[in-house]
Structure 1
Amino acid sequence: MPNSIIKTVDIAAPVEKVWDALIDHEKFGSWFRVALDQPFAIDQSSTGHMTYPGYEEYRWEARIVAIEPMTRFAYEWPATGGDKALMESGVPVPEWTLVEFVLKPTETGTHLTVTESGFDAVPEPRRTNVMRSNDGGWAEQVQNIKTYVED
């Protein structure tokens, strides 16, 4: 079974514009559909709440791992997979996955790769459910950032 989800998208915009949409917490929130409480900072927690329809009452929590200008942005977050029952339980999820955004300039703009890894730490049957949910979520999110940046 794979341990990661990888999504790629080509965006017709320069790396600087895509980077700004990733690293500016308000712009990130616009396309990701989350209201964040503070700017991103390495080794700091990122908190807020989801604004995605149907998930507005749920908290956002992440730990910022890397901010490598114009190249890589990474954070860890709880492996809930959007499971409402798990999120409502109030029980902390012990397993966290790593999300990495890697940017590469192309002739027509930016090639963005999003990788979420670390699912091997999540016990079954939750692992399969989290991976299925997050796979669909990342397919949507790479299109969200593409639309946001290209508009």
Structure 2
Amino acid sequence: MAAHDDDTIVQQTVEIGAPVPRVWQALVAADVRAGWWSYLDLDPVVGGKVTETWEGPDGSNQTTGVITDLVDGRLLAMDWADDGWPESTHVEFVLRPTQVGTVVELRETGLDRLPGGAEIAAEHRAGWQMHLNNLRALVERS
């Protein structure tokens, strides 16, 4: 898995030993996504709502947003923000076929507009790595 470009951009890549359609379904189909990211709800259409409810050190938190772009089997993009953030960030999942299966490229930008953006980006790198590893584990064993 590759790391990031600068202190406030999160960029990670994972190769999954499964075809693009199976990886795509794990991203957009709620019943499949529940196996690797159970606390995320999203409506996979442009303009669809995104809600992630998670537990942190201060209790329950919510990240909400909207799907900004969707190209079936290739791109899922969203703008979202944690409770209390003054700005949203932009997240893109890009899928590409490879000889082995699928490369998933994740990129989150806009953290530079948040107070403590570099620290938040470091936390998000760890979180996104966990999510991508969970995605790979689920898809490769199914």
Query: For the superposition of Structure 1 and Structure 2, which TM-score range results when normalised by the shorter chain?
Result: 0.7 to 0.9
Cα offset, 1:132, TM superposition: 1.0
Q: Does 1:108 find its partner at 2:100? A: yes
CA RMSD of aligned residues (A): 2.3
Q: Name the counterpart of 2:12.
A: 7
Q: How does 1:69-84 map to 2 (within 5 A)?
A: 69-78=72-81, 80=82
- 1:3-35 deviations in Å (ceiling 9; x for gaps): 411111110000000000011133224312315
TM-score of the pair, normalised by structure 1? 0.78
Runs of 4+ in structure 1 deviating by more than 6 angstroms, as ranges, are 52-56
TM-score of the pair, normalised by structure 2? 0.83
Q: Name the counterpart of 1:68.
A: 71
Instruction: Give the counterpart of 1:23 among 23, 28, 42.
Output: 28
- Give unpaired runs (5+ residues) of structure 1: 81-86
CA distance in 2, matches of 1:20, 1:148: 12
CA distance in 2, matches of 1:109, 1:54: 37
Identify the structure with the greater helix proportion: 1
Cα offset, 1:58, TM superposition: 2.6
**Residue pair 2:85, 2:114 contacting (<8 A) in 1 also:** no
Cα offset, 1:54, TM superposition: 6.9
Cα offset, 1:69, TM superposition: 0.6
CA distance in 1, matches of 2:8, 2:17: 30
CA distance in 1, matches of 2:110, 2:75: 18
Q: Name the counterpart of 1:83.
A: none
CA distance in 2, matches of 1:22, 1:137: 16
Q: Tell me which amino acid in the other structure corresponds to 1:71.
A: R
Q: How does 1:1-151 map to 2 (within 5 A)?
A: 1-36=6-41, 39-47=43-51, 49-50=53-54, 57-78=60-81, 80=82, 92-123=84-115, 126-151=116-141
CA distance in 1, matches of 2:31, 2:91: 18
Identity %: 26
CA distance in 1, matches of 2:60, 2:139: 27
CA distance in 2, matches of 1:145, 1:62: 21
**Residue pair 2:77, 2:92 contacting (<8 A) in 1 also:** yes
CA distance in 2, matches of 1:53, 1:40: 26
The count of residues paired between Structure 1 and Structure 2 equals 136
